[in-house]
């Protein structure tokens, strides 16, 4: 019996529509559950409790220090307390630096005490200190423009300011004056190096950070003290500074990446990797950098599993040496065989300011799971960029280089560099509501990815093919 043409057409249309309808239904279910996860996260105290516990019970956590060993033990206990599985410590070695007594003062033409913090990898001064005339540069480029030998016997001082920006991009623009400054000053004959702190505050608290070893003592000045030196130099008389700095270095200190998982119910070998860095610098208690990231990622993973065990595994990593380096490469080396099965990677390391924008992997915005995610976070005033992510974070850089898809959640960093690497980086600077907003965004994302079939690699490849055939 022949089927009438109109019935055949209707049957074909129904066959074509069925998968789309099924996808829409899946997307609706994901969106509804992701919204529920979001709402739960906005009132859940887990993240705040984690940040409070880490900063209070462990405090500052320099890699290679006894405090970092306490941090390792705290991380293992916290994962187990929260019900994570396969909790483990991945130990590696990395070069480390530790601070000793430090002081700086202007000894002429007018005596002034200066507030400094030694930069990571700084060399100590000779016994009794180092006294020398300064040469001041208002921009880092002005120092780079000096020929070899031009700074012989002098202490180089760079006072370039760091502007305040929401996205923190100004840090990248001026970072070299800290991270490369000591090395470049030494190449030009300097016996010491001082830089205005990479900071947007106006307090007399200097901000430390890592720097390439130059073989000379190197320190960050508080912003008012950098301006004080500018005023002294402007008076036309030679300015002499005395530095007294002690420090020690270790070429191979033990360090730790600590891992906890929520195992997937259907495809446990497909893994979402997220986290923050457990280590910190020593002046404050490492609250916004990066107890906040530890709290956000850990709480988000826990909340994402609140509707039952997800299809895929969610893995939280507390990376143990971001500030002094080494954790990214060590994590990749220990887990390289899993990279092809890593669904996506992400890192929270921008403080506790609210997420205001984010970037998803290429070609994924139109997928039902990402539509569900975008719908869930719409009330949180987060802009979803049309551009793919550029940089997901220092500790997932190794995974990214190995081909793991990644996301970039951009936090409001307007105040972050008032606190970054300074004594003011303490728990009271974290706004609990903003912390919860971060958790809500991350938890909604983890839920929609972990409980769906989205394949970021395939979507990126299809997007590239479509682009090439246009």
Contacting residues for 308 by C-beta, under 8 A, at least 6 apart: 265
For residue 72, count other CB atoms closer than 10 A to its CB.
Answer: 22
CA distance 348 to 274: 8
Interior CA angle at 464 toward 461 and 467, to 5°? 150
Query: Has 102 been annotated as catalytic?
Result: no
342 strand-pairing partners: 271
For residue 359, the number of C-alpha atoms closer than 13 Å in the C-beta half-sphere is 15
Catalytic residue among 184, 261, 270, 322: 322
CA distance 305 to 277: 22
Do you know the residue count of the chain?
A: 470
CA distance 217 to 123: 5
DSSP one-letter string for 173-222: HHTHHHHTHHHHHHHTT-SEEEEE-S-S--SS-----B----SS-EEEEP
Farthest CA pair distance, the chain: 108
> From the DSSP assignment, how many helices (H) and strands (E) are in the chain?
15, 14
CA distance 30 to 375: 10
* Backbone φ/ψ region at 411: left (φ over 0), alpha (ψ -120 to 50), beta: beta
Residue 410: its H or E element: strand 408-411
CA distance 42 to 21: 32
Question: Mind telling me the catalytic residues?
Answer: 322
């Amino acid at each position: 019996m022949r089927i009438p043409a109109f019935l055949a057409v209707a049957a074909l249309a129904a066959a074509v529509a069925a998968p789309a309808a099924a996808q829409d239904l899946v997307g609706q279910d994901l969106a509804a559950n992701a919204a529920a996860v979001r709402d739960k996260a906005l009132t859940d105290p887990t993240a705040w409790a984690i940040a409070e516990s880490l900063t209070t019970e462990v405090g500052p956590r320099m890699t290679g220090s006894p405090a970092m060993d306490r941090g390792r033990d705290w991380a293992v206990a916290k994962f187990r307390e929260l019900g994570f599985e396969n909790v483990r410590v991945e130990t590696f070695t990395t070069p480390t630096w530790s601070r000793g007594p430090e002081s700086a003062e202007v000894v002429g033409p007018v005596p002034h005490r200066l507030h400094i913090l030694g930069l990571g990898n700084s060399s100590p001064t000779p016994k009794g200190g180092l006294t020398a005339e300064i040469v001041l540069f208002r921009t880092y480029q002005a120092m780079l423009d000096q020929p070899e030998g031009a700074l012989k016997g002098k202490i180089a001082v760079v006072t370039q300011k760091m502007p305040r920006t929401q996205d923190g991009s100004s840090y990248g623009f001026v970072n070299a004056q800290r991270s490369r400054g000591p090395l470049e000053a030494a190449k030009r004959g300097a016996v010491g190096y001082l830089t205005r702190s990479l900071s947007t505050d106006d307090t007399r608290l200097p901000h430390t950070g890592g720097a390439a070893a130059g073989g000379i003592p190197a320190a960050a000045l508080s912003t008012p003290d950098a301006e004080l030196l500018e005023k002294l130099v402007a008076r036309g008389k030679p300015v002499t500074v005395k530095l007294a700095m002690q420090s020690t270095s270790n070429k191979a200190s033990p360090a730790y990446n600590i891992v906890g998982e929520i195992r997937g119910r259907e495809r446990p070998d497909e893994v979402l990797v997220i986290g923050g860095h457990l280590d910190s610098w020593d002046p404050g208690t490492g609250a916004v950098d990066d107890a906040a990231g530890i709290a956000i990622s850990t709480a988000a993973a826990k909340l994402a599993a609140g509707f039952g065990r997800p299809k895929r595994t969610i893995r939280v990593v507390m990376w143990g040496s971001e500030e002094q380096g080494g954790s990214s490469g060590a994590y990749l080396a220990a887990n390289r065989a899993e990279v092809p099965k890593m669904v996506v990677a992400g890192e929270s390391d921008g403080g506790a300011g609210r997420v205001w924008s984010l970037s998803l992997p290429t070609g994924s915005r139109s997928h039902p799971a990402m539509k569900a995610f975008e719908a869930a976070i719409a009330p949180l005033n987060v802009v979803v960029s049309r551009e793919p992510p550029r940089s997901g974070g220092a500790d997932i850089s190794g995974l990214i280089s190995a081909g793991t898809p990644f996301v970039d959640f951009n936090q409001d960093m307007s105040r972050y560099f008032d606190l970054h690497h300074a004594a003011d980086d303490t728990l009271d600077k974290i706004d609990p509501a903003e912390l919860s907003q971060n958790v809500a965004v991350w938890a909604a994302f983890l839920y929609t990815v972990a409980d769906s079939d989205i394949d970021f690699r395939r979507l990126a490849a299809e997007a590239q093919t479509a682009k090439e055939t246009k």
